[in-house]
Amino acid sequence: MTFRSQNLILPEGASTLIQKLINERTGMFFDNGKRDLLLDKLSPLVIERGFSSYLDYYYLLKYDEAARSEWQNVMNALSVQETYFWREIDQVRALVQTLLPQCYARNPRSTLRIWSAACATGEEPLTIAMALNEAGWFERASIEIVASDASSNAIDRAVRGVYKARAFRSLSTQLRDRYFEPEGADWRIRSDIHRRVKWTVANLMEEDQIAPLASADFIFCRNVFIYFSENAIRRAVHSFAKFIRSPGHLFIGAAESLIRLSTDFTLTEVDDAFVYVKREKVI
């Protein structure tokens, strides 16, 4: 198969260099079967830069001192933003009904922090906020929800707080009507719930970016590791373990697993949901 942008030059070996660099900097892993997809997604960026060769663009990303903003374009081009409210709700339920109450009982005066580490356009942290609100936790405890994503486009959309009908495929109409206001064909999140979440851009491969966020009691990092290489997952999870509060809990997606990796977390089951708990001692 030839990739779509046949008008760009792809010198021998350049695609491998790009695949490796993208993996190293973003964690995302495009194997050879997805090589054309990667090149297609990057092609507008290559052309916008005025380059005619992918190799020139590789050098830009790797060497140019001003490439930081270009990496944001890459993240925006490659990130997958398909998600919805109330997705994999068992884990959120375990948080609200069991884990957060336990945490609160241990430290009733401290602020409990929840970090949604790959929040895409915001559906996950808003789901958590709605669930906590339904259980009345915002009145009982001081809770901070922080949400981040590597794509600035995704965070911009999360900050706008307006969602299309597809995002409500798992949310009951009752909850939708309670927490959203119609805006044309779309829906806007209620401002008091939206304000509960602090939004920011962060790359899971950059420890200095995630360190202040990972100092949390609960980390949700769901449906992102399926796009990562094993090494990248290991790096991200190691950073989580380094900064998460004790005893910290990590939630990952149902299709993901850390079992094959040696990590600082142990798998446990809470209220029919799988949750990883930080081991006592980081090796």
Element (H, E) at 191: helix 191-194
Of the candidate residues 4, 106, 195, 198, the single one contacting another protein (CB under 8 A): 4
Residues 183-222, mask of contacts with another protein (x by CB under 8 A): ----------------------------------------
Read off the tokens for 170: 């798992």
SS3 65: coil
Under the binding rule (CB under 8 A), the answer on residue 178 touching another protein is: no
Q: Are strands 265-270 and 143-149 parallel, antiparallel or unpaired?
A: unpaired
Tell me how far CA of residue 67 lies from CA of 60, 63, 131, in angstroms.
6, 8, 40
Residue among 53 and 257 whose Cβ is closer to another protein: 53
Under the binding rule (CB under 8 A), the answer on residue 80 touching another protein is: no
Contact set for another protein, span 26-45 (CB under 8 A): 40, 43-44
CB of 49 to another protein, least distance (A): 8
Please give the Cα distance from 152 to 7 (Å, whole number): 28
For 159, list phi and psi in degrees, rounded to 5.
Answer: -65, -35
SS3 197: strand
| Nearest CA among 35, 22, 36 for reference residue 79 | 22
Of the candidate residues 15, 27, 28, 47, the single one contacting another protein (CB under 8 A): 47
CB of 65 to another protein, least distance (A): 8
**Residue found by looking up tokens 């995630």 in the block:** 210
Residues 242-271, mask of contacts with another protein (x by CB under 8 A): ------------------------------
Instruction: Give the footprint of another protein on this chain (CB under 8 A).
Output: 1, 4-7, 13, 17, 40, 43-44, 47-48, 50, 56, 59, 62-64
